[in-house]
Chain A
Amino acid sequence: MTAPVPPDRTDLRILDALQDDIPLVPRPYAVIARRLGISEELVLERLHCLREAGIVRSISPTLEPQVAGLAASTLVALRVPDERIHEVAAIISSYPQVSHNFRRDHPYTLWFTLAGASAAELKGVRSEILLRTGIPDTDVLDLPTVRKLKIDVRFSFAHDDDQGGRDGPA
């Protein structure tokens, strides 16, 4: 197997273009290609590689949680001893209510999100996780979502370039 080729400038420009909504036209990749001044074939060829490399997870719609019946959500942090991190993380990740589960550089080592139909459902899942892992209540922070003020994931891929302007408010 050949080593993966790091993304070049063309790849990064394609990735950047894909941070906007995909055009709803018969040939959306041709529209992106035209915008970038390259061919549709090249866009598709690069996209296959980027997906193969796991850089593009997928091009897919983000659905509104409320509409999907996910009315309640919370962020939970656990103080887990280092030697138990992987075991505890695996139990947590196994729940469909969990979408994000990260280790973080802090005494509260594990941070995960829960989403469900109601606060009661989330409480049930949290209790079950604590029971299964033996983590005491005193090592838990449960931080229910009050308001989502912003969700707009957009990366600045060009790290050599001047990033002036990104520090100030919009």
Chain B
Amino acid sequence: MDPRDFELLALLEAGLPLVSEPYDEIGKHLNLTGSEVMERIQKLRQAGIIRKFRARINQRKVGITANALVAWKSAEALDGTMGSLLASFPCVTHCYERLPVPGRWEYTLYTVHHGFTREAVRAEVRALARHIGARDYVVLFSTEEFKQVPNVRIRENGRLTG
């Protein structure tokens, strides 16, 4: 990472320009050619700094309005493998393991699901639960979005100095 990379990532954060030759366009702001921009992106990707480079889509606006976080109690029979099993389902977009709050909230695994209707999401979660033999889970549908931004925003909270 050099200062140019930082500037490049900051520009890309606003989005790849919607023009025929977007890397050339980005390069103009950095005094780089389009090829140099692509080389830098490739290196940042190889270094694991860029994890993905895709469209960020607001799924609610295309009708995917049933979005649920599901909290699972780990089934003892699965002996620590429940997380990777949950993660293996294509319908699961996120899967995290978290510490519980003993005595108040014993759930340790969290998955995220998206669908056009709550019923479709509930059915998907039920099928998943049946498949892996999990009984204890809670489905938390989102009803209002207050903030939804990328985890890392390079100027706002990034500390890319290395």
Q: A61-B50, A61-B51, A63-B154 are in contact. List 11 more A-B contacts (CB 8 A).
A: A21-B53, A22-B53, A22-B54, A26-B34, A44-B18, A59-B15, A68-B159, A85-B144, A102-B145, A148-B96, A149-B83
Q: How far is the CB of B118 from chain A (nearest CB, A)?
A: 9
* Interface positions of B (Cβ within 8 A of A): 9, 12-16, 18-24, 34-35, 38, 41-42, 44, 47-59, 61-64, 69, 83-101, 104-105, 108, 110, 114-116, 120, 124, 127-128, 131, 138, 140-154, 156-162
* Complex Cα spacing A64 to B150, Å: 11
Interface of A is mostly: mixed
The 8 A-B pairs with the shortest beta carbon distances in the complex, nearest first, are A69-B159, A58-B15, A18-B55, A150-B87, A103-B144, A101-B147, A150-B95, A63-B152
CB of A105 closer than 8 Å to a CB of B: yes
Within 8 A of B (CB), among A49-90: 51, 53-65, 67-70, 73-75, 85, 89-90
CB of A96 closer than 8 Å to a CB of B: yes
CB of A7 closer than 8 Å to a CB of B: yes
* Complex Cα spacing A143 to B104, Å: 12
* Contact between B147 and A98, CB atoms less than 8 A apart: yes
Q: Tell whether A61 pairs with B52 under 8 Å between CB atoms, given A142-B101, A167-B91.
A: yes
Query: Which of A53, A60, A89, A90 has the most chain B CB within a 10 Å cutoff?
Result: A60
**Chain B residue at smallest Cβ distance from A144:** B99
